[in-house]
A and B are shown apart, each in its own frame.
Chain A
C-alpha cells in the first residue's frame, strides 16, 4: 500500500494515503452499522471504529507478501490489507461475491491471494495459527513474516501464552500485535490482565515488548516497522501493544453499561482520524481537501453497499457442498 517508511516519519502523501485508508474503514463500519439498524443482515459484527490507526499503521509498515492473521474485530485489518470493500461487504451480507461466498462472514474471512490467513471467531484462536504459519515460513526458508492481531482479552487465553512461548523457543518470524482497546467485551483490561500492560508479558517469553499510542498512525507504523525488521532478520518474535479504544460497543447490541460517557468523550478527543487530520493540516493541507477525502470515502461506501445488497446469495449446493477437499 505504501512506500517504505523513512525513519523520520511519513511523507505528506503517505500520511494522506493512511488517512484515506482509515476513512474507508470508518465509513465501512458506519455503513455496516446502518445495515444492522435497517435489519438488512443477521448475526452480529464487531466494529473497529476508533481502532483504524492500528490496522492501517501495522499493515502499512509490512510488505504485501507478509501474512496476516486477524480476530473477531477484523474489518479494519481486511481493508488495510487492500481487500476489495465490495467483496468484504458482500461477504458480511452472505453473498456469493464475498471473499468466502457467504460461508465465512465477518469472523471467518480469508483472502489467501492477498496473504490474509483469516479473521477468527474464537478469542485467541488465531494466535497459534499465525505461529504455525511462521513455523511453515521458516521451514520453507522464506523471508516473509506473520503478523497476528488480537485484543487485550485474548492475551488471557492459554493460546497466547503457549504460542508466545513456542514462537520464542523456535525464534519464529512472527510479530504479535495486541490492540488493547481497554475491554474484553465488558471486562476492563485492568480487571482481567494482571500486569499494567499486555506488553509486559513479553518478558516472560524472552521477547521485546513495546506499548505504543494506537491512535497515532505514524507512531504505530514506526513501531511496527522497527519490530518487523527485527523479526524478519531472524531475531525471533516480538510483542507490540497498541493502546486504542473502540468508540462503539463490543458488538452491535452493546449498551456500554461498563464504561462512562465521559471516558468515551475523553478518548474521542484522540480519535485516530482527528489526530491524522490534524497532522495533515499541520503539514499544510487545506480544510477543503480533508473534507473532500471524507466525502469521497462516504460516497465510495454508499456505492459498495448498494452493489452488495443487489448481489445474489448462494444456492443449496453452495450451502451443503465443499466440506471436504
Chain B
C-alpha cells in the first residue's frame, strides 16, 4: 500500500464502509441497538443516523434474536440488512435465527431465496470487560453450513471486506474486534473491496503462523522482531473463517513444514482445531514438527485485567510455540 494513504481507525473504516454502502444501495439498512444518535456502543455508526435517518438506520429494543430474525425476513423481500450485535457475547441470544434460518433458507427453500444479511459484531477482549463482554466466539460458527464468517485484522481489511460482505448474497457473520477499533492503519478512500474468502500471506520461510482478527498484528509484530535473529515467520491471516482458504494454508505449510495456529478464542473445538485437523489430513507428510495451537485457556474470561492476562494468548505464548516447533 502506498505511503501517502491516510491513516484511520479500524472503527472509522467500518463506519466508512457502512456510509459508502448506504449511499450506493438504497436497499442497505442498518438495524440494531443504540446505533442511531448514540452511534453504537463503540461509536462505529456515529453520524449515519443524522445522514440517513430512521428509515435506513433502524434502532431496536434489546431483542437480539428477534431483530436478527427480522433482518432475515427483510432480506427475503430484498433488503440488505446490516445488523449490529453490540458485543459478540450477545450473539448467543440470536443463534437460533442465524443457524436455523439465515444459514439454511437458501438451501432448504431450494434456491427460491437468498439471504444477503450481514451480522456485524465485535468479539475479543479489551482489558477488563469480563466474562460476558470479552469472548471471541468464532468457535460457535465452525460447522454451521450456509453462513460465511469473516474476521478482518486491519483497518483497510475491515473496510474492503465489509463492503464485500454487504454485497454478498449470503449471510455473513462479520467479526470485528474491540481491541482493533482504536488501531489506525492506511485505508484507501472511496471504492475499495476485498475478496471474502481469500487468506492473506505475509511471506516467510521457517514457520507458518496461522492467525485471525486481533492476533494477526501480534503475529506480524513478532515476525518483524524475529527477522533480525534469523527466524522467518510466514503469517497467514485467515480473513475468512468459513469457508477456510485451504489451498493457501496447505501451500504455506508445505513450504515451511511447521505450523503454529494463533487465535483469541478458546483452543478447544474451534477454528484452530479445524485448521489443525485439515493440515493433519492433507499435509502430514510435509510436517517436520507437531502442530502447536495458541489460544485462550478453556476458562471464562475473568474481569480482573491481571487475571485476564493469564487466560488470553499474547506474544510470549506465540513465541514459545514458535520456539517449540523450531526446536522439536
Contact = CB atoms under 8 A, between A and B. Distances in A.
Interface in B61-113: 61, 63, 65-79, 81, 96-97, 100-101, 104-113
B74 A322 contact: no
B169 interface: yes
Contacts of B78: 136, 140
B11 interface: no
Contacts, number: 139
Given A131-B73, A324-B146, A118 B79 contact: no
Contacts of A325: 106, 111, 114-116, 169-170
A127 B110 contact: no
Interface centre among B65, B68, B78, B116 (most CB of A within 10 A): B65
Interface string B1-44: 00000000000000000000000000001000000000000000
A166 interface: yes
A139 B110 contact: no
Contacts of B100: 121-122, 125
A135 B65 contact: no
Interface residues of A, number: 40
B85 to A, nearest CB: 14
B69 A125 contact: yes
Interface centre among B79, B108, B115, B169 (most CB of A within 10 A): B108
A159 interface: yes
Interface in A17-62: none
B55 interface: yes
Contact of A125 (B55, B67, B97, B169): B97
Given A136-B78, A139-B79, A325-B169, A128 B67 contact: yes
A133 B61 contact: no
A312 to B, nearest CB: 15
Interface centre among A110, A130, A134 (most CB of B within 10 A): A110
B181 to A, nearest CB: 28
Interface stretch (A101-109, A232-240, A270-278): A101-109
Contacts of B170: 324-325
Contact of A129 (B76, B111, B112): B76
A163 B61 CA distance: 10
A158 B67 CA distance: 12
A169 interface: yes
A227 interface: no
Given A129-B69, A159-B65, A139 B109 contact: no
A103 B113 CA distance: 13
A69 B81 CA distance: 19
A323 interface: yes
A219 interface: no
Contacts of B169: 325
Contact of B73 (A110, A136, A162): A136
B106 A324 contact: yes
A137 B109 contact: no
A136 B28 CA distance: 11
B58 interface: yes
Given A110-B108, A139-B29, A324-B170, 15 more contacts: A99-B110, A108-B104, A110-B109, A118-B109, A128-B73, A129-B70, A129-B76, A129-B97, A132-B71, A133-B73, A135-B79, A159-B66, A162-B65, A166-B61, A323-B145
Interface of A: 67, 69, 99-101, 103-104, 108, 110-112, 117-118, 121-122, 125, 127-137, 139-140, 158-159, 162-163, 165-166, 169, 322-325
Which 5 A-B residue pairings sit nearest by Cβ, starting from the closest? A128-B69, A132-B73, A132-B70, A162-B66, A325-B114
